[in-house]
């Protein structure tokens, strides 16, 4: 490739010792670091190279796609959308779990904490539909999830959401399966996601 470790480190705004620690496995990379490496290698004419460096993630190729909110048509989906807008309209600072409990949605929502370039699931409602979302393990980063490919694709979406804008509907598809989710970022640090029924893509 003709790239030195120093060139990669400079492009990422890191020192060489940090990159060496990553490659030795003695220091953890955040999702933001992985994404920055992906973008850097793509700019150098080597898209997909990072998948060769992390084979566990390439076993599951999940594609992320935004969908219009008008696609939520059933009464249950419309009720969730209404609740998501209500969560955004809450002016009083509240603990996210208390807010969900007061809305009667704690049992089917997922709460993610955005911290140091990674979104950590901290609550997974027991009544959420069986799905890849339901297999996320609270407190684990994407690299330690049962399906890292799905977790990394979800990370890309969650970290790109703007605070207190509007709910967003997205789907993640892989191997004939599609997981739709209604997502709302209620603050700079917290994102609430409502998994919808898993579908055939």
Q: Note the pTM of the prediction, 2 decimals.
A: 0.67
CA 91 to CA 187: how far, in whole Å? 11
Tens place of pLDDT for every residue, the chain, 201 residues?
567 778 888 888 888 888 787 766 666 666 667 767 777 777 777 766 665 555 444 445 778 888 999 999 999 899 889 988 888 876 655 678 888 888 888 888 888 888 877 788 888 888 776 666 667 777 676 767 777 778 878 887 888 887 767 899 988 888 777 888 999 998 888 899 998 876 665
Of 119, 111, 113, nearest in space to 143 by CA: 119
Helix (H) / strand (E) element for 114: namely: strand 110-115
Domains and CATH numbers, the chain: 5-53 (no CATH), 63-200 (3.30.450)
CA 154 to CA 171: how far, in whole Å? 9
Of 124, 149, 158, nearest in space to 138 by CA: 124
On the CB side of 63, CA atoms within 13 Å amount to 9
């Amino acid at each position: 490739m003709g790239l030195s470790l120093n060139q990669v480190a400079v492009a990422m705004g890191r020192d060489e010792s940090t990159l060496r620690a990553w490659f030795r496995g003695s220091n953890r990379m955040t999702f933001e670091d992985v994404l920055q490496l992906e973008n850097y290698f793509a700019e150098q004419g080597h898209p997909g190279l990072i998948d060769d460096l992390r084979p566990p993630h390439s076993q599951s190729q999940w594609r992320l796609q935004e969908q219009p909110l008008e696609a939520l048509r059933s009464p249950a989906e419309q009720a969730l959308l209404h609740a998501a807008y209500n969560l955004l309209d809450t002016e009083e600072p509240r603990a996210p779990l208390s807010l969900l409990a007061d809305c009667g949605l704690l049992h089917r929502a997922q709460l993610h904490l955005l911290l140091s370039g990674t979104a950590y699931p901290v609550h997974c409602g027991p009544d959420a539909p069986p799905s890849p979302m339901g297999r996320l393990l609270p407190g684990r980063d994407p690299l330690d999830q049962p399906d890292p490919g799905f977790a990394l694709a979800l990370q890309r979406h969650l970290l790109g959401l703007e605070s207190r804008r509007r709910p967003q509907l997205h789907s993640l598809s892989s191997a004939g399966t599609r997981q739709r989710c209604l997502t709302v970022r209620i603050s700079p640090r917290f994102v609430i996601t409502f998994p919808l029924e898993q579908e055939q893509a």
